[in-house]
Homo-oligomer: A and B are copies of this chain.
Amino acid sequence: MVKESVAVIGSGNWGSVAARMAGQSCLEKPDLFERDVPMWVFEEQVDGRNLTDIINEKHENVKYLPGAKFPENVIANPDLIDTVEDATLLIIVIPHQFLPKTLNTLKGHINPKARAVSLIKGVEVVGDNINIFAKVIERELGIRCSALSGANIANEIALEKFSETSIGYADRKDGEIFQKLFDRPYFRVSIVEDVEGVSLCGAMKNIVAIACGFNDGMNWGDNTKAAIMRVGLLEMKRFCQDFFPSCKDATFVEESAGVADLITTCLGGRNRKVAAAHAETGKSFEQLEQEILGGQRLQGTGTAKEIHEFLSHKGKVDNYPLFKTVYEIAFENKPAKELTSRL
């Protein structure tokens, strides 16, 4: 039996946690996986040293996941092509805005038998065309790509607190091998034949979290918040049924990627937090992204905009009153109180 070689593309907070779990599994399951797990790190300087050197010396991503040790078989590598050249299993976990350039670099350097799993949140919208990132990866690299998403706050998983996740696959064998790679005593992986449903849940939950942030900023309370989450889950499900008819209902109501991740994201997280500040202070999201996130872009408003663009092209904006209202509050200066009047 041929062993699988794993490589991780990305080393942010979530990427580091994913590499840590994959590294543990590769050590524990030598029959299935090669020992070493190279992890591509976009090189940067920390205290005058290369981040990759620090990671490989301290076995810790001191910048993006401080406090959690990697097993010694996770090896930081600043060279993207060198990282992936032996890999048969690719874990892709980078901010979506860097995906096109990264895929471009990878083209022609991937083992044609490799399979990928995308941990990227969001969707690609061009006019009336919408794609999940797993499909973008398949299109650009010519290999199959699954998707992993769930109620997964990275820092809690780094502490090995119990979590669940979902992997959506197109080919069951892919689902099974990635399940074996990620499954840990503290990380329960379920697999489901629904790449699109798993991916879309991971994108659209962030729109609902923005609405929950408005709720918190307006001090509307838990009844209203639960109503927003209920309506949000239904709009997510309807969106998928309308535009991705292969999505399975069960993904939304039975999977960690569905209702559970929605709950976690609407309780904590940066989308909720920044939206609460918007409703409280009236400051623009752009300004708040500077003040609270040091200029990083918020995923929920970005996705709200993309979904709105897509729905506008389709002439279906009004079918999704919650998504529409979040967009209008975030980008058209509608007051946050519009939200409850349209629920």
Question: Residues of A with Cβ closer than 8 Å to B?
Answer: 151-153, 156-157, 159, 161-164, 188, 220-227, 229-230, 233-234, 252-256, 259-261, 263-264, 267-268, 340, 343
Q: Which residue of B lies closest to A156 (CB)?
A: B221
Whether the pair B227, A153 counts as a contact (CB closer than 8 A) is no
CB distance from A260 to the nearest CB of B (A): 4
**Complex Cα distance A9/B229, Å?**
32
**Complex Cα distance A227/B161, Å?**
12
Whether the pair A222, B156 counts as a contact (CB closer than 8 A) is yes
Main secondary structure of the interface of A (DSSP, over half): helix
When distances are taken between beta carbons in the complex, the residues of chain B under 8 Å from A252 are 253
**Complex Cα distance A153/B221, Å?**
9
Whether the pair A226, B256 counts as a contact (CB closer than 8 A) is yes
Whether the pair A164, B230 counts as a contact (CB closer than 8 A) is yes
Q: What are 11 A-B residue pairs whose CB atoms fall within 8 Å in the complex?
A: A151-B230, A153-B223, A156-B222, A161-B220, A161-B221, A162-B223, A226-B264, A229-B259, A229-B263, A230-B255, A267-B267
Whether the pair A340, B261 counts as a contact (CB closer than 8 A) is no
- 4 further A-B contacts with Cβ under 8 Å, apart from A151-B222, A151-B230, A267-B267, are A163-B223, A164-B343, A225-B263, A233-B259
CB distance from A191 to the nearest CB of B (A): 16
When distances are taken between beta carbons in the complex, the residues of chain B under 8 Å from A224 are 156, 161-163
Whether the pair B340, A162 counts as a contact (CB closer than 8 A) is yes
**Complex Cα distance A261/B226, Å?**
7
**Complex Cα distance A229/B225, Å?**
16
Whether the pair A188, B268 counts as a contact (CB closer than 8 A) is no
**Complex Cα distance A163/B227, Å?**
7
Please judge, given known A-B contacts A220-B162, A343-B188, whether A254 and B234 are in contact too, CB under 8 Å.
yes
CB distance from A335 to the nearest CB of B (A): 15
When distances are taken between beta carbons in the complex, the residues of chain B under 8 Å from A159 are 221
**Complex Cα distance A224/B160, Å?**
11
**Complex Cα distance A230/B264, Å?**
11
CB distance from A209 to the nearest CB of B (A): 12
Whether the pair A223, B156 counts as a contact (CB closer than 8 A) is yes
CB distance from A250 to the nearest CB of B (A): 10
**Complex Cα distance A253/B249, Å?**
10
CB distance from A143 to the nearest CB of B (A): 30
